[in-house]
Structure 1
Amino acid sequence: MTPTDAPGTTDTTASTRTDTRWHLAGDWFDTCKCNIPCPCAFAQPPTYGDCDGILAWHIREGNYGDVRLDGLNVVLLGSFTGNIWTGEHTDPFAAVFLDERADESQRAALGAIFGGQAGGWPAQLGEMLGAEMRGMDFVPIEFSLADDLASWSVEIPGKVRASAEALSGPTTPKGARVQLHNPPGAEVGPGQIATWGRSTADRADAFGFQWDHAGRSSKHYPFDWSGPDE
C-alpha cells in the first residue's frame, strides 16, 4: 500500500531515504464488519466472506532519523474479500488519512513508513495485501484511548468515526480485559496482545467507502516497529 500512488495526491516520500533508521511505538485498533471475535485475528476468512473496516494508529513515540513523530495519528479505510493471511483474497482497496498537524518533514516520514518504502512491518503487510489505493488526505484526527483499555475511539469529522468498549460478560472479572496472546493474524505484526472490544460506532464516508456498522468486532493492539529491515 503506497499512499503516494493515490490519485490526486503529491509524492511526500520523494525526499526521504529508504535506508533511514526509524522506530515507532504506540497504540492501534480497528472496528470492522466481522462478528466478535474477528476471524482475521485467527488467520481465518472474514465472518461474511468479505470485510471492511477502520484501522487507527496513535504514535506515542517515534522517529524517522532525526524527525520526531510523537503524538501523530494515522487512519486507514480498507476492504477485501477472502483470507488475507493465506493470500486467498481479492478486491483489496484502501485509503489513508495522515495527521494534518504534521509538518513537511513529518509528512514525508509518515508517507515513507506507512507507504512501505522505509521497510519494516508496514512494508511486509502492504506487500501481502497488495491493496489498490483510492486516495490519501491530511486531516484532523482525534484519537483517544482509556488508560485501562476500557474504551478507544478515533474521529475524522465528516468522514470517519470508530469507537469501542472493552468486551465483557457474565464471567469476566470486573475491570479485567478479554485478551488474546500470540494471535496468528495480528495486523500490527507478531508478538503483541489483542484486547477485544465491541464497536459502538463504525462509520465511514470517504473515497468511495461508505458503511455504518456498530455492535461488531473491535480489537486493540500496542505496536512497536522499526526499520529498515536488516
Structure 2
Amino acid sequence: MPWHVEGTYFENCNCDMVCPCSTSGLTAPADNDRCNVALAFHVETGDVNGVDVGGLTVCIVADTPALMSDGGWKVGVLVDSAASSEQAEALGAVFGGQLGGPMEGLTPLIGEMAGMESLEMAYADDGRVHRVTIGSAVDMAVEDFVSPLDPTGQGVKISGVGFPADTLAAGTSSTARVDVFGMTWDNSGKNSFSAPFAWAA
C-alpha cells in the first residue's frame, strides 16, 4: 500500500562544517574516528497504510564507523509519545526502512538495532533555527549558516545530496546533547544540515 510523509528535518553530527559523509554519499570518511549523528524529522502531513501520521516527530540516533559505507551502524529510533500505538508502528516501519523508501537503502549498513522508544518531544523550526528536545535523551538546536559575503541572505545550500533530501542547508549546532540507547555525546558547535523532506513509496 502506498505511503507518503513530508515535513521538515534537521541533523547534527560530530563532523566539522561541512560533513563529508553526507556530501560524498557515504564514500568519504567522517572527520573523527566515529560518526555520532542524530536526525530529527517532523512529519507535517503523512499517511502510512491508512494511518494519519501528521503532526508527529521521529528522531534517529546512530553511532557509525568513520567510513559509514563500512556498515556496522548502531541505530536507535525515538518516536513522539503523542503517537498512538498504530501511529508509532507506522512511523517505526517507515523510518526503520521496512516499508521501502529512502531508509530501506540504509538498512544493510545497520549492525545493531538498539531499539525504539516513545518519548515526549518538542520540535520547533522557524526556517533558519531548528530545535528538538526529547525527554532527557536529546537536546539539539542548530542554525543554518548565512555567509557574510552573500547579499541575498539565503544561506549556504548543498545540492545533489539525495538523502534525506536533494538540497540541504548547511549550518552548525548551538546545543547537541544525546544520551540514549547507550550512546552519549555532545556535538555542540559541530555540523548541521536541514531541509524540507518528502518521502513516498
- Scaled by the length of structure 1, what TM-score is found? 0.81
Alignment match, 1:31: 12
Pairwise CA distance, 1:90: 4.5
Q: Deviations over 1:9-36 (max 9, x none)?
A: xxxxxxxxxxx22111111111110000
Alignment match, 1:164: 142
2:184 alignment partner, SS class: strand
What code does the residue aligned with 1:26 have? G
Percentage of identical aligned residues: 30
Q: Deviations over 1:172-222 (max 9, x none)?
A: 336321101112xx4315xx2110111001101111111112111000022
Alignment match, 1:73: 57
Alignment match, 1:209: 183
Alignment match, 1:133: 113
CA contact (8 A) 2:77 2:92 kept: no
CA contact (8 A) 2:147 2:156 kept: no
What code does the residue aligned with 2:149 have? T
Pairwise CA distance, 1:112: 1.7
Query: For residues 142 and 221 of structure 1, do their structure 2 counterparts lie closer, same or farther at Cα, with a shift above 3 Å needed?
Result: same
Gaps of 5+ in 1: 1-19
What code does the residue aligned with 2:199 have? W
Please point out which of 163, 169, 176 is paired with 1:187.
163
Alignment length (residue pairs): 198
What code does the residue aligned with 1:145 have? D
User: RMSD of the TM alignment (CA)?
Assistant: 1.6
Would you tell me which structure has more strand in proportion to its own residues?
A: 2
- Scaled by the length of structure 2, what TM-score is found? 0.92
Gaps of 5+ in 2: none
Structure ID, larger Rg = 1
